[in-house]
Chains A and B, each alone.
Chain A
Amino acid sequence: MTMRKIMVAGLSAAVLVAASSVAWAAGQYSPGASDSEIKIGNTMPYSGPASSYGVIGKVDAAYFAMINEKGGINGRKINFISKDDSYSPPKTVELVRQMVEQDQVLLMFNTLGTPPNMAIHGYLNENKVPQLFLATGADQWNDPKHFPWTMMWLPSYGNESHIYASYILKNLPNAKIAVLYQNDDYGKDYLNGLKAGLGDKAAKMIIATQSYETTDPTVDSQIVALQASGADVLLTAAIPKFAAQSIRKVYDVGWKPTHFLNSVGNAVGTVMKPAGLEKGVGIISAAFAKDPTDPQWQSTPEYKEWLAFMNKAGLSANTTDVQAVIGYSFVQTMVEVLKACGDNLTRENVMKQAASLHNVKLPMLLPGIMLSTSADDFDPIKQMQLQKFDGTTWQLFGDVLSASGS
């Protein structure tokens, strides 16, 4: 009797295993995935005030096209649907609903901007659609407990200024700090991260702050006001156009603070050069990706591969833009995750693989910077490295740091 039971159990188990492996071989799918195709949705500001970031979307599309030419991922072609939301949240909601309900995409990837993402993350989490690798560094996106379907990618802005704060506390303990920031979540995250990093010294050390709107033609007035405060340290949290103006005006008014520049605004080609290379000497910034105009990377095979990719994709006009490097790294991460899914292309498995990145290296990130995620940690890149401008290029110094300073 027992023998029989064991045999039946064993046979059933064998049948189950056989059945499930047959199912596994055929692939498990959520809407948007099939044997031949994976549909990915994306919104980008291709027009309007944030349009300079549209290059990220273009790089995404070009890279997916290149992968498709090489046979796709596990034999499936990527159908990348990217639409212009002009950075307007109501538009983002509409486009995302269209992509999820009409086009039936598997996941949303690399949606850009905090307000647009804020508008859609409730909907996507409610409908259990992955919202992966947001193109925004706002601190709030690392929240797997409340938003298990939303994952960021960029090192958060707050973490970056935390790193500056640690440096200031260590090397300039009596500093009087002035801050120029963009009047939105991006700029404010930098300001708040600095305050958090300085701890209880923040109120004493930060003696002046000035904000600007993206519709302001210049920030000259703000720089003059900050100089008048008597500060000897300046943090500029600005996008390229205003970062360049800030650097130039600081020099022109004869102010010589220790100048910290946020990573978004430190590209050599689009910021340091227009501002005037000699005006930026000594500025400290942080980076996690390789600046394509930096001579120290231009002889490496990774750079050459990236450059060849850009030129072949018709994006030669953007080969001096570090956003293109970041976009390249974004999409490589997505490809890694999709590869790891194998034939199990359910939305749950996509999230699972995305949350299982372990020390992943990407060719155009700085050496030493790796991506890691886990079930409680949805912030893949937490490290940056400090660098100082010497008039031609950014010289990295110190160790690769994370917000905690290690």
Chain B
Amino acid sequence: MTMAKSVAIASAEQPAAATRNGAFVAGAWRSTGALVLIAAAVALPFTISNYHVFELTQVMIYAIAVLGLNILTGYNGQISLGHGGFYAAGAYTAAILMHRYGVPYWATLPPAAVICFALGVLFGLPALRFEGPYLALVTLAMAVATPQLLKYFDTWTGGQQGINLIKVQAPAFLGIGRDRWLYLVVLTVLLVAMRVAANMLHGRTGRALVAIRDHPIAAAAMGIDVARYKTLAFGTSSLFTGVAGALSAIVIGFVAPESFTLFLSLSFLVGSAIGGIATIFGAIVGGLFIEFVPNIANDISDAAPWAIYGLTMLLFMYVMPRGVVGSLAGLMRRVQSRRATAGQGLEEQKRRLS
């Protein structure tokens, strides 16, 4: 993709002068739409059973984790097969703080975020040396080493036995059950995470990350501090996934090395790809995939459910190689640009094409 083409596409995305009013209206529609969706999401848990609320909470937790991966692998192009490690770090931070030091559950999120950010940066520094399959290996090594390290430092982590956490109680004055309360907590964190990610990715930082992904040499030539942004991407990505891990410890109420195997890291990657690796909403699709498709596969085939799961992965990749949201976004962009060019006069079209 040449520089000229990127500029052209970027300009096509911005509404032309003639439709600026239209843009305002569109923006208003988008905000109302978002508010409606959020309201629906808040009301939803009160219409379904506790168990389904629990499932949806899991979906949101996975979505936050996958969002972290999207930042790193989607927007910044650094592949990671080891995000289960950051997830585990967040989970155990929360668990140890709650279990050993009696920290209330909501207060474990900031420390988890900070610690995972630091871990991510620490990891991102040597990762600067690696690309492609080599980076995959290094992150894979982390994913594989995580259970072993967790078992080794058993005075802190409880070793193989894991740590059993006291169940969280909803605030009494609200009068809702534990499951619904945790759903609302996780929903809040998810919305905040998406907002933060959107701000970051649609601004200068995001453009720098994408530039580094697509043309690292050109980006450096333009004055972008590649090392700084790549490390920052690692740190931020790890922060998101770590917070998701902390939430999962709170919601499930139990952590053990067996919960954080290589398969978890691979699941995040799969969820990310299926949702759309360089999207924000794709993370939610990814979370839905990770949570529900194994269960559906189990219902379809008792004998070999993981074969069905694998087959589903394949089919998604054939039909939508850029992921669900990625493919939809691409489609919408094409429709929009066609509409934009159609709305313009012949002169405009000639000017654009020359």
Contacts and interface: CB of A to CB of B under 8 A. Distances in A.
Q: Do A and B bind each other?
A: yes
Interface of A: 46-48, 83-84, 86-91, 93-94, 97-98, 101-102, 113-116, 118-119, 122-123, 126, 140, 183-185, 188, 213, 215
Contact of A122 (B51, B159, B167): B167
A115 B58 contact: no
Given A102-B49, A118-B161, A87 B54 contact: no
Given A83-B298, A101-B49, 13 more contacts: A46-B305, A84-B298, A86-B263, A89-B162, A94-B58, A97-B51, A97-B54, A102-B51, A115-B259, A118-B162, A119-B162, A184-B160, A185-B159
23 contacts: A47-B305, A48-B263, A89-B252, A89-B254, A89-B259, A93-B252, A93-B253, A101-B50, A101-B51, A102-B51, A114-B161, A115-B160, A115-B161, A115-B256, A119-B162, A126-B167, A140-B161, A183-B148, A183-B151, A184-B151, A188-B159, A188-B160, A213-B148
A89 to B, nearest CB: 5
B306 A47 contact: yes
Interface of B: 49-51, 54-55, 58, 144, 148, 151, 159-162, 164, 167, 248, 252-254, 256-259, 261, 263, 294, 298, 305-306
Contact of A114 (B148, B160, B167, B253): B160
B51 A98 contact: yes
B263 A118 contact: no
Nearest to A119: B254
Contacts of B54: 94, 97
Given A101-B51, A118-B162, A185-B160, A87 B305 contact: no
Contacts of A122: 164, 167, 253-254
Q: What's the dominant secondary structure at chain A's contact region?
A: helix
Contact of B258 (A47, A93, A97, A115): A115
A89 B256 contact: yes
A93 B259 CA distance: 11
Contacts of A98: 51
Contacts of B258: 87-89, 113, 115-116
A90 B248 contact: yes
Contacts, number: 78
Given A83-B298, A183-B151, A188-B160, A119 B256 contact: yes
A215 B148 CA distance: 11
A386 B328 CA distance: 66
Nearest to B61: A90
A139 B194 CA distance: 45
Contacts of A86: 263
Contacts of B254: 89, 93, 118-119, 122
